[in-house]
Structure 1
Amino acid sequence: MINNPYLQSYRNYLRLERSLSSNSIEAYLGDLNKLFQYFESLGQTPQVKEISSADLKFFISWINDLGMLASTQARVVSGLKSFFSFLMLEELIADDPSALLETPRLTRHLPDTIDIHEINAMIDVIDASKPDGMRNKAILETLYGCGLRVSELINLKISDVFEENEYIRVTGKGNKERLVPIGSTALKYINIYRQETRVHLPIKRGFEDYIFLNRSGTRLSRISVFSIVKTLAERSGLKKSISPHTFRHSFATHLIEGGADLRAVQEMLGHSSITTTEIYTHLDRDYLRGIITEFHPRS
């Protein structure tokens, strides 16, 4: 393991100065632990100040030989660079051994999508006579109608819905808030669910403002939403691998294919970079190049 003073100082840096979540901090520290596991496999216990650029290159080669995905390797390299940059910032080391590390080239895969007929098929197999039927309709309509991440859906609150203006307030990654338009269909099912089902639930203290609840009256979990979507996909006869994120992909793809501006979709998805939004599109590359040309200041 990393020398405790370095570890604790870096943990405090990530938490206080980088404002990272506890999960992100543990991911960074876990990747650093892999580096020291590598040294242990060689029977070595070097001090942090003794680690060289060659050591790090051999380590990256080692995790590659273990079969680690390129995306995971890229994350590890990013974590190493962050750690040694911190040590340089604190003047704990004189040279940064990670400066010349190269990030593995990543292959960007187009995400799966479903068309409107497949979405309707999933909604049609919902049994509205069951207590959770209208809730599940509202969930699917909100996922598709707003392009939400599953974590954003389960944390959506009644106070986040501005019905008159047809907007919802979404808290995304890094606790960043954004306003996303919500269509009349999703609003209709949310209201029916609230008025006909949710009102009869034994809502537990502290969960009064959350929209989507389970039968016990607490916030719906991520696993529950995944299970709902998977079950409905199977019932409707879809052979594709469907998850809640599929609705987010489909939301973005259908908007772009309908002529929506890529920057507008970027805002609605809560992406910090427009290049991230680009992977949600299945469009002619000349069209995307034209969008970048129009909006990028260096074009």
Structure 2
Amino acid sequence: MSPERRTTLTRLVGDYLDHLVVERGLSTHTVAAYRRDLERYRDFVGRRGVEDPRAIDTALVNAYAVSLREGVPADGAPDVDEPSDANEPSDADAVAAAPRWRHPPLAEASTARALVAVRNLHRFAAEEGVVEENVAAAVRPPRAARRLPKALGVDQVQRLLDAPGQDDPLALRDRALLELLYGTGGRISEIVALDVDELSGLLTHPDAVDGLRVLGKGSKERIVPLGRYAKRAVTDYLVRARPGLAARGSGSPALLLNARGGRLSRQSAWSVLQARADQAGLGVAISPHTLRHSFATHLLDGGADVRVVQELLGHASVTTTQIYTLVTVDHLREVYLTAHPRAR
């Protein structure tokens, strides 16, 4: 394959995609993903007046890597801030948001994938003799700024937990869901995966059920304490709501059931949380993980040891848990500045 054919980046991308299909035998889906990523790269480079692959240097590829995380505003669009919390929208959400983006910011995993496509393209160009070296070989995805988890205040959590009421089966189910999420710090996937047999003992020996066995990431089991508020909410649900919901289905073993008697899905649980947050008038964006963040932050605020919180959350490393200590330090600083007469 002669260098003379490599006159434009467009042609290089086309030949590389052909290589992926013919020589690498990659699936249509994978090649389509590469095509999307490389079209974004080609657009970025082309808007800087570069057409010849030999004119691309490491600095340009680094600038592209930064643009993946920051996004490329549409022509004439006002400046916008990058999403700033753990509830960062997905790439699809960003695309649908508005025409303010020529290319929306990508999440960390998508940024890494897009940059791998570019590095592979330049490696292909070097191997084919189109360029002398792979200028993208040393480029790595930019590290995302560490985002402190957003925790609700205790009063906000109380309003959320009180929102469902106890007037119908779905309200009782929602209350049980929310109490389990906040009372155990469990991930939403862990809570909706619970089966009724794991908590049916509450009906006969409530004092004997002190903990909840959950299956976390990597199929690692852990036991988390079950407080009296969560016990009461689950018991009310088991007695007054679940039998009626179960009668609508085909005998699902799930603890938390949907309106048709099947297992409540993660997506449906997320919708429940959003609806109840709106009902409570919280006025902030929350996700199931918000209650997990709140669980950890409130424990640390109350004096819990970080390694105890690590075990309760099921974190493999205490480093992951220590991010919550930063939240509590910020909280302590705010209290100090507000309350101490010599703080200001």
Shift, 1:254, TM fit: 0.6
User: Structure 1: which 5+ runs fail to align?
Assistant: 10-25, 87-92, 288-299
Post-superposition offset of 1:191: 2.2
Residue of structure 2 equivalent to 1:204: 249
Q: Does 1:60 align with 2:65?
A: yes
Would the aligned equivalents of 1:80 and 1:98 in 2 still touch at CA under 8 Å? no
Q: Which residue matches 1:20? A: none
User: Which of 135, 141, 151 is residue 103 of structure 1 equivalent to?
Assistant: 141
Question: Which stretch shifts more, 134-143 or 220-229?
Answer: 220-229
Check conservation: 1:109, 1:279, Cα contact below 8 A.
no
Aligned residue number for residue 232 of structure 1: 276
* CA deviation map 1:96-136 (0-9, x unaligned): 97652233132223232223332222333433121212211
Name the amino acid aligned to 1:128: Q
SS in 2 for 1:216: coil
Q: Which amino acid aligns with 1:269?
A: L
Question: Would the aligned equivalents of 1:168 and 1:179 in 2 still touch at CA under 8 Å?
Answer: yes
RMSD between superposed Cα atoms in Å = 4.2
Normalised to the residue count of structure 2, the TM-score between the two structures is 0.60
**What are the Cα deviations for residues 264-299 of structure 1, in whole angstroms up to 9, with x where unaligned?**
2122223333332233342238x9xxxxxxxxxxxx
Q: Is the 8 A contact 1:166 1:184 kept in 2?
A: no
Question: Residue type of the partner of 2:258?
Answer: N
| Structure with the greater alpha carbon radius of gyration | 2
1:169 partner SS: strand
Aligned to 1:3: 20
CA contact (8 A) 1:252 1:280 kept: yes
After TM superposition, the score normalised by the length of structure 1 is 0.67
1:65 is displaced (CA, Å) by: 5.5
Deviation at 1:198, TM superposition (A): 0.7
Kindly indicate whether the alpha-carbon contact (under 8 Å) linking 1:113 and 1:247 is maintained by their aligned counterparts in 2: yes
Percent identity at matched positions?
Answer: 32
CA contact 2:115–2:140 (8 Å) conserved in 1: no
Alignment partner of 1:179 is 2:185: no
User: Residues 84 and 272 of structure 1: is their aligned pair in 2 closer, same or farther, counting only changes over 3 Å?
Assistant: farther
Report the equivalent of 1:119.
Answer: 157
Structure-2 separation of matches of 1:58 and 1:114: 37
Q: For residue 237 of structure 1, what is the amino acid of its counterpart? A: G
SS in structure 1 opposite 2:179?
Answer: helix
